Amino acid sequence: MNLADDRAKNWRIELGEWHQLQASAAPIRLEVFVHEQRVPLEEEIDALDAACVHAVAFDGQGVALATGRLLPDGHIGRMAVLKWARGQGLGSAVLEALMNQARHKGFTEVVLSAQTHAKEFYLRHGFIQEGEEYLDANILHILMRHKF
C-alpha cells in the first residue's frame, strides 16, 4: 500500500461557505488549475466563490485533497483533486456531495462545464453531454447536464 492509498482511505467531505473552506479549497485549486493546467490566476479565483456552497475532501489527518463548488444557479464547478490523490474516489465523493446539496436546495438538475479529458468521469455519474466542445481558459470543455 502506498502513502496515497493509506491517507485517502479515511477521508471525509465537508460542505460550507467560502469563508469557512477557502484556506483548504484554494490551495487545491491553485495547484491543479493554475500550476498543473496553467489557468491564469485571475480566471481561477473569482467573485462567485462567496456565493457558492463548497465541498472539500479531507484525509484522516485533516489534509485537504479535493474540492468543488455549487453555484447559486445549480452549476457545479471548480472540481479538483490533487494529482497524487487521484483514483481514490475523492472526485466522486465531492461530486455526489454537491449533487446532494443541489437536490436539497430544490434543483431538478445540475449543469457543469467539464474538461473533455474528464467527460467519461461525469458520464459514469449520469451526466449527459450537450453541444460541441469549446475552449475555456485555453482548455477544451463540454457542457454536461444531470437531471434528478
Domain range annotation of the chain: 3-147
pLDDT beyond 50 at 6: no
- The 10s digit of each residue's pLDDT in 62-116 is 999 999 999 999 999 999 999 999 999 999 999 999 999 999 999 999 999 999 9
Q: What is the strand order of the sheet 139-147 is part of? A: 12-16, 53-58, 64-70, 75-81, 109-115, 139-147, 128-136
Measured between its terminal Cα atoms, the distance across the chain in Å is 37
The CATH number of 3-147, from 3.40.630.30, 1.10.150.20, 1.10.150.120, 3.30.1120.80, is: 3.40.630.30
Q: What would the grid cell of residue 123 be? A: 458520464
pTM here?
A: 0.91
Length of the chain: 148
* Residue 39 binned pLDDT confidence (cut-offs 50, 70, 90): very high
